Structures are given as structure tokens and as C-alpha cells.
Amino acid sequence: MSKFLIVSDNHGDREILSDIIARWRPQVAGIFFNGDSELSAKDTVFDGVSTVIGNMDYDPDFVEARATTIDQVTFFQTHGHLYHVTVFNGWANLELLDKAALESDAQVVLFGHTHVDGALAYNGKLFINPGSTSLPKGPRSIIGGTYAILIVESDKFIVHFYNRSHVLLDNLTVEMAR
């Protein structure tokens, strides 16, 4: 069993990012930040964190997208704006993201940008948007900000969402067979 931390769109709120990462670092196999930090790519908060550039990031040291394989799981990670991810059908338009993930042979696709949390099995892949820690949008914005933990078991993926106080939001859990 492996766990992964997925965070996005803190928009300058360095404290919450630092808090979440410090809390989970000892127990996760990977940490993903999906863009729009408005921080420097060299900020120490990103030590050991897989990052990508958001539409509100201006440090050219952030990459546009990346494929990463950890513990036999291949992730495709990008912010979303470069793949025209917008709010669609209550969540997100995944069409171009899906094509890009296919080229990377990814099983899990990580993005942000819309600030709408969610996880969905689509075209045989698991798409995860952890939501924004600091500027949430959509039907669950009243939670005040979210992030996600992916649990990889031998036969399934489990996605848990947490609020800014690290309380598990049980009713948002998503599972997908692998």
C-alpha cells in the first residue's frame, strides 16, 4: 500500500501548503503540487515536491507537465489551463488531458486550475483534482479549501479529501479498481 499527497492552487497561501506537506511527508511515497502557488519554484516548501506551472505562476523553472512513476503507478501531472480544463458537466472538461495522459501511459491524472475538488474514473484512468486549499469553488466551496490523499492498494485506488484542518471528508471518498 502506498499513499500520495496531492495539493493545488494555494495562491500565495504558503502557510497552509507548508502545514499540509509537513503533516503528510513522513507517510507518503510522493507529494504532488498541481500549480498556482504564486511562489518561486525554488521555495523550500517545494523540497521533494513534484510541481508544475499554473496560469498564475511566473517562474520559468516550473515545468508545464510531467509524467512520474512511483511504486508502479504512473502519474500525469499538469495544472490544466494548457489542456483547456474548464468547469464542465459539474466538474471538468477532461478531453485533452485524457489524450495527453494516454501518451504518457498514465493510470492517474493530477490537475488543478478549476478549484473544484473531485475524483473520477474516466477512460480507464483516475482523474484527481484536489481542489484549492485557499480559494475553493463549486458546490463544496463552503468546506473552505481541500486537498487529497491517494491510497494505492494492490487491487484499487482510494481517494480521500481533507479540509484545511486535516479532517477527513468521508462523503467525498472515491474508489476505482486497478
Judged by the rule CB under 5 A, the positions of this chain that interact with Mn ion are: 9, 36
The residue (of 9 and 117) whose beta carbon lies closer to Mn ion is 9
CB 16 to Mn ion: min, Å: 14
Residue 81 burial (CB count, 10 A): 19
CB 36 to Mn ion: min, Å: 3
- Strand bridging mode 2-7 / 146-152: antiparallel
HEC sequence for 94-151:
CHHHHHHHHHCCCCEEECCCCCCCEEEEECCEEEEECCCCCCCCCCCHHHCCEEEEEE
Tell me the residue length of the chain.
178
Cell numbers representing residue 166 in the block: 486535516
CB 145 to Mn ion: min, Å: 12
CB 46 to Mn ion: min, Å: 17
Distance (Å, whole) CA 82 – CA 45? 24
The residue (of 55 and 69) whose beta carbon lies closer to Mn ion is 55
The residue (of 9 and 13) whose beta carbon lies closer to Mn ion is 9
CB 170 to Mn ion: min, Å: 26
Q: Which residues contact 160 (CB under 8 A, 6 or more apart)?
A: 148, 149, 150, 151, 168, 169, 172, 173
The residue (of 81 and 152) whose beta carbon lies closer to Mn ion is 81
The residue (of 4 and 33) whose beta carbon lies closer to Mn ion is 33
Range list of H helices, 1-110: 14-24, 95-103
The residue whose Cβ lies closest to Mn ion is: 36
